[in-house]
Amino acid sequence: YSFLGNRSSKTFKPKKNIPEGSHQYELLKHAEATLGSGNLRMAVMLPDGEDLNEWVAVNTVDFFNQINMLYGTITDFCTEESCPVMSAGPKYEYHWADGTNIKKPIKCSAPKYIDYLMTWVQDQLDDETLFPSKIGMSLYLDTIIYQNTSSLFNLYTLYPCLCPQGVPFKRNFMSVAKTILKRLFRVYAHIYHQHFDSVMQLQEEAHLNTSFKHFIFFVQEFNLIERKELVPLQDLIEKLTTKDR
């Protein structure tokens, strides 16, 4: 199941792939299958027995890929000339800072801001200490290897990363994930406010709306973005979510 189907293969940044055969890949497939039912409220809920950090990680990667593709479809319309500042309507303007390379917020064009933003997100997703790809690993093969071990406690002690309940996420993972999602929201906000005519021209509005609705349901389910950050699209959020309450 894909919001954009095969209609657009253009992405702004390289797609972030989840390793096939990993538990995260299985979670992604579960999410896609649930999304196919059309019930987005149900689709975003934490599956029984799963780790919240891992669920947030998988979905954050998925949202990055979705927004990456959506923005990729309108890059010809989002230029230094058309968007000299990163804005979401006349009332909201965003200045870029990542706290590392650019510590003091700088005013820049929307394409430059989004390039900074997506590059920064990509760096976070590629950081194995923040978004470990080898988590939730199956104990099946290791159980066979250690089949003479009287207690799996020894296996967990030797290889704590293999314990499903010992997923090695850093303590600041959720904080970083929230910042990523907050910043990805700004790309949605810019597209809606500044480029929706282009989206309609490309006949991608249904895909944009479905992707954004999925995103909003997810961040609402786990309180991942402060309400004040969502204000630029508050009317749209209420319109998209009211009938699903």
pTM beyond 0.95: no
Strand partners, 106: 96
Identify the DSSP state of 229: G
Q: Is 108 annotated in some ligand binding site?
A: no
Q: According to the model, what pLDDT value does residue 204 have?
A: 92
Q: Is 161 annotated as a binding residue?
A: no
Domain boundaries, the chain: 23-132+169-244
Residue 190, annotated as binding a ligand: yes
* Segments of the chain assigned E as strands: 86-87, 93-94
Residue 105 tokens read as 């917020």
Domain 23-132+169-244 has CATH 3.90.950.10: no
Residue 78 assigned ligand-binding role: yes
Q: What is the pLDDT along the chain (245 residues), one digit of tens a residue?
A: 344 443 444 556 566 666 665 666 666 666 666 565 568 888 899 999 989 999 999 999 999 999 999 999 999 999 999 999 999 999 999 999 998 889 999 999 999 999 999 999 999 999 988 998 765 543 333 333 333 334 433 333 344 444 344 447 899 999 999 999 999 999 999 999 999 999 999 999 999 999 999 999 999 999 999 999 999 999 999 998 886 65
Please choose, from the candidates 165, 161, 160, 162, the residue with its C-alpha nearest in 3D space to the C-alpha of residue 140. 162
Q: At a CB cut-off of 8 Å and minimum separation 6, what does 65 contact?
A: 11, 15, 16
Q: Residue 60: helix, strand or coil by DSSP? A: helix
- Rounded Cα distance between 194 and 60, Å, is 24
